[in-house]
Amino acid sequence: MKEYIYKPQGVCSTEMHIFYEGDTVKDLVVVRGCNGNLKGIAKLVSGMKIDDVISRLEGITCREKSTSCPDQLAQGLKKLKQEEFSK
């Protein structure tokens, strides 16, 4: 299992530790943000394919912001794919 650390932009959370194996999310730990909601999201995405997580979460907004923690997770997973799988 590998770990990818993503620094989200424009949201309350400050770091996302994405644990993955192949093209599957194995675990997610988010620093700061809405603790209960983010723990719930982590449980829901555990075991999901990276592309499925991206397609479900990308574009979700929070309050007046143009992004959200779920959207930032999708952005982080897109960056992970770009950096890790396009080598």
**Domain residue spans of the chain:** 2-84
Fold (CATH) for 2-84: Enolase-like; domain 1 (3.30.390)
60, amino acid identity: I
Q: What is the pLDDT of residue 87?
A: 64
pLDDT digits (tens, 9 = 90+) for 30-53: 999 999 999 999 999 999 999 999
Q: Is residue 86 over pLDDT 90?
A: no
pLDDT digits (tens, 9 = 90+) for 50-82: 999 999 999 999 999 999 999 999 999 999 999
Q: How far apart are CA 47 and CA 27, in angstroms?
A: 8
pTM of the model: 0.95
